Structure 1
Amino acid sequence: MIHVLAADPTLADFGKDPLWITIIKAVLLFVFLMLGILFGVWFERKLIARMQNRYGPNRAGTFGLLQSVADGIKMGLKEDLFPRTVDKVLYLMAPVIMVIPAFLAFSIIPMGPMVNLFGVETPLQLVDLPVAVLFMLAMGAISVYGVVLAGWSSRSPYALLGGLRSAAQVVSYEIAMGLSFVGVFLFAGTLSTSEIVAAQEPTWFAVLLIPSFLIYVICMFGEAARIPFDLPEGEGELVGGFQTEYSSSLKFAVIMMGEYLHTFVASGIAVTLFLGGWRAPWPISMWDGANEGWLPFLWFFIKFVLTFCFIVWVRASLPRVRYDQLMALGWKVLIPLNLAWILLVAAVRTVMYVYGGRFEGDIYVVAGIGVAILFGAIAIWLRFDTVNQRRREARKAEVEAEFEELSNEPTAGGFPVPPLDLPHYHGVQHKEIPSGTN
């Protein structure tokens, strides 16, 4: 049985706030996200610049802090162009559809316990639901409509291909992401985000469910379309992907806002489901007052920023993958691994339930054995994967045959010698020259 402190909010604590408190919390959340976007753009450019041994923004304001404001003003004052052939209604609606679900998804993220806000005891979270995590997944699925409509309504082949890529990518990685949450649900016994945070009081799920956490981290990049999985806007082959026909105006600013909001949602979900939420890390958690009052918001914010730093670090370190590699990773690796891990976690939880919780003290041993079994199964599968092995052997034989064929060609002075049956150019009917000859 999980011990829940009196300060921990539960589902019963939601829906009791006065209307004006709810409005204040919604406004504070909106301000937090908007300021996060401004500083997030600046921070990402600054961090990548330092990783690449350059300065980054350093002209607009102290340390370049006003650079994001200057960029926003510039995009707001630019001429708002409409390509002649676009579907104007959907062309305008698409950026909005990308942004609004991201705001709604962040509303279920718990940022602290019960706090005193203007004399009212209220949880530091806008709303919670019995199926809060499913609500987040639904909002992520709706937001992809914005990308698809942006590509389709632009009437451009590059934009259309970007939209189709996004649809296939989100479908693939949402399945793997949803499966990575199943282990969390089995251990927490709930889909409520506030109660999942309460269930991580003894140990974070990132420690107990390491495979689920690692799979979610990979899916996080695919869901938010961040490098190395930013295939919907691959400028190398699609110019700009789904946003090719959106000029650098307010519409483009809204699209950029949606991208950062989805990154924030992915970071917030990682902190909530796997990194203990607003709970203080060890050894700070040994202090009795570490998880009371407004102080837990600091722990949440630190974890949130560090997760965002990791996303930026990956962007600065890894190249973009090919589209076939992206799809193969999602369908052939992540989903099978998820299914095997879910079976193992379900078996462990069943044993713990049948024996009346007597294995609760040995939970680390059980988790370690489970991880060892999973990685052992992966190693065996890779060792005896005969299909891929046959493919590798066939490819090796092809390469060796090509090399042997090239090495047997007659040469003179290091250059290929023309074949003896070349046609004569006067008085003789021409023959077809074999391909590959000079």
Structure 2
Amino acid sequence: MDFLEMDFDPGPSGDADSDSISNTEIDNAASLPLDSKIEVIEEPQPCCSKDLNKEMHTESNNINKLESNVKSKYLNFTKTIPEPIAKKDTGNTARAEIKMPWSCSLSERTRTAKSLRVVKRHHSSRGELSSPSESGLNGDATITNLTSFHNATGKILIDDKNSVGTNIEKNMIWTHQEACLKQITQVGPSACGATAVLNVLNALRFPIPTLERVQECVNTKLRANSSPLTEYLLSRCKAGCTHRDLIAGLYKLSDKRIYSRFFAMYPERLVNLQSWLGYWIKNGAVPIATMNLQKCEGNVPDSWHHQMIFGVGPEGIYLTNPLECVDPEQLWPQLSSESVLMVRTEDVISRWDPKVDLPQLMRINDVRWKELNVVGQIAKVVRESRREARVDYVFTSHIRIPAEYQAGVTLVIDINSPAFTLLRQCPELPLLQPDYAASAL
């Protein structure tokens, strides 16, 4: 089959365990027929946000159209941030590039660091953030893994004169001490989204609802850890919540007094994260980052993550749950990731059974399951599990499945804020065109 790229060496038949599943069964699993009718289910529109799902698949083919739509409006900025003024496109004038307060050049944009150090966030196999030094709401939370964050007196230990980002203005929602006292840490399994929502409500000085109410409004989904393989993988792709759930939850929990807008960072955007985030924080918005933690070097974490951002400065970007200050170049690959989740091989093998309904994965109305050849990946790791260990053979550590999450930043603001109109009507962040990116390297 064309969709199954079985690029692994099946090995001699003598490697198979006579008591385990047969080669024929694995081969049959790998040669399942494709459903000729493939339909993609469109997700419902989020509350107070734009639907960006279609943009992910069509933006690269519609860049000119996007530019035309964006540049047909001109925003006249003043200190009071008035309503945008529509400008008619007569077709006779040359297209002028829109300059937003956060616009940047190619040389100023945030890009991926050459070395992706691991940012430890203490995730367990159940998707829980379990930092031993964070104790939740009792005010005793401490900052972990941050020797350069602050000392006992709260003073920054980084020398700003030697810092790369010395021209970055410092804008904070909370001070370092306030963050230690006010931040809310992980409230349950796969509940980083609900935790981020609680932190945002706290930052915007809204009443803090009960945990049951938050879980209900955010619609946190758990992993089906005790289910068969197919059900387990389906639960993994959507465990926790998406930015749409965050937007809907904040809207309900604030009695419609909060507006949220998601800005996708994939495909990669032309933006300076510190300047962009700093502008919105200065004007009353609270950001929530949705990141693929698996974009790192070393040990691969087991999940994506939502974190409220409580400030930016020359030192980096400050996040809650856990409290940390991260260099934007280290954060960028996690914020601009494609929607893919890596599942550990041992989690697949431990749930494998010859009776597993693999065709169920091929009947999903999401073409990405076929594009990633998930069934072929499963067949490969099951076959590898029956091989004898050899020094020159590298076993597959993870399989890749589609994820419902989108990487990016959700900006949250009170509707009474002067910047509300601007946030609602400003254009999307510009796409970083491949030819421009290559020329700037």
Normalising by structure 1, report the TM-score: 0.24
Query: Could you say which structure has the higher strand fraction?
Result: 2
Normalising by structure 2, report the TM-score: 0.24
Question: Radius of gyration: which is bigger?
Answer: 1
Query: Could you say which structure has the higher helix fraction?
Result: 1
Q: Which has the higher contact order (CA 8 A, sep 6+)?
A: 2
